[in-house]
A and B are shown apart, each in its own frame.
Chain A
Amino acid sequence: MHEVSVAAAIVSTVREALPGRTVEAVEVVVGALSGVVPQALEFAWEVVTADTPLQGALLVVDWVPTTVYCPECEATVTPEVGFLCPRCGGLSGDLRTGRELEVRSVRVRDDQVVDV
């Protein structure tokens, strides 16, 4: 359950980047190899944001599968097992997506802000 640490890191990232704003939603990108389980993160989000300015903010998780470039097929493919190409069975270490763990965007309401 390191998702609690991850949720806390998301909260502090958002609050530092956008202090004092009313946050409606936070969009995070989570890769299949990031080690973060979306359901656990959503549960942790509720717990970690309770009694903070982010309480009630929606967490939107964009799940990114593992993809690798298969040189045999000359294509970016989504392996079913490990890094094996599902088309030709070849092995590729050329990882294209899957490690992401990023706050992509934040939906805010600028109640008091005049210029940004």
Chain B
Amino acid sequence: MSAESDAARTVDLRRGVLEKNDDRAAALRSRFTAAGVRVSNWVSSPGSGKTALLEVLLGLAADRGVGVGVLVGDCATDNDARRLGAAGAPVRQIVTDGLCHLEADLLTQHVDGLESDGTPLESLDLLVIENVGNLVCPTAFDLGEDLRVALLSVTEGEDKPLKYPQTFAAADLVVLTKVDIAAAVDFDDAAARSAVAAVAPGRPVLSTSARTGEGVTDLIDALLASTRD
């Protein structure tokens, strides 16, 4: 067709805003699948206990001979990588310089970095991506993971899934953390589970404690069993 010169017209585009991120995530996903590594993307508010839970998970996984690598995202500092590295597992810090979430492009660089530092993906059974502590921003960004994990600590309030439905609706697995202090903070387990069910129907909910180790073996099993198909 010929265009009307100097006239405004509306072009139908219908293109996903995050299509580029999705393309890179798809490339990562094929790479992960080819290497036989199960990848999970952990999302929660700051202070929900992701790192503490991971520390315990790394110890128990090592005892079972399960190889785990970690990519940990934070706005600043490599404190978490140093904490997690102490357990002996391959860990790489992703400093986002203030960016409130991880994107597939940035993750690709760090997966490359992990491999060039001597940890080929093939050598791992599990790769855990600890996203930036933020319950909103990471939601829309696919990282090529097999499993999206949303974590909720017992100190945060049982209705948090209702307040942040996007995040919990996008999760494949919900993990309750710090359950060893549930009684001390009057945590209502049934209310939390029904809040999860209201926004993420049918999703499994796992109770864990980094302090007692409760649920961590189940979590490892759930991560090992995860697939996208």
Contact = CB atoms under 8 A, between A and B. Distances in A.
Interface of A: 1-2, 5-6, 9-10, 12-14, 17-18, 24, 28, 32-36, 66, 81-84, 91-93, 95, 101-111, 113-116
Interface stretch (B108-116, B145-153, B179-187, B196-204): B196-204
A114 B2 contact: yes
19 contacts: A2-B99, A2-B100, A5-B103, A9-B17, A14-B13, A28-B17, A34-B166, A35-B139, A35-B166, A35-B167, A36-B140, A82-B195, A83-B169, A102-B14, A103-B13, A104-B13, A105-B12, A108-B11, A116-B3
Nearest to A102: B16
Interface in B1-46: 1-21
A82 B137 contact: no
B92 interface: no
A9 B20 contact: yes
Contact of B7 (A5, A105, A109, A115): A109
Contacts of B18: 6, 9, 101
A111 B6 contact: yes
B178 interface: no
A52 B7 CA distance: 22
B136 interface: yes
Nearest to A17: B13
A18 B11 contact: yes
Contacts of A9: 17-18, 20-21
Contacts of B202: 93
B17 A101 contact: yes
Given A33-B166, A106-B10, A109-B7, A83 B199 contact: yes
A34 B9 CA distance: 28
Contacts of B165: 33, 66, 82
A108 B139 CA distance: 31
CB-CB nearest 9 A-B residue pairs: A82-B198, A2-B137, A93-B201, A35-B139, A82-B199, A110-B3, A35-B166, A35-B140, A33-B166
Nearest to B134: A2
Given A5-B99, A101-B16, A116-B1, A109 B6 contact: yes
B206 interface: no
Contacts of A81: 162, 198
B101 interface: yes
Given A83-B199, A92-B201, A13 B9 contact: no
Nearest to B169: A33
Contacts of A91: 197-198, 201
Contacts of A108: 8-11
A103 B198 contact: no
A115 B3 contact: yes
B136 A35 contact: yes
Contacts of A33: 165-166, 169-170
Contact of B17 (A10, A18, A66): A10
Contacts of B161: 82
B174 to A, nearest CB: 13
Contacts of A109: 6-8
Contacts of B136: 2, 35
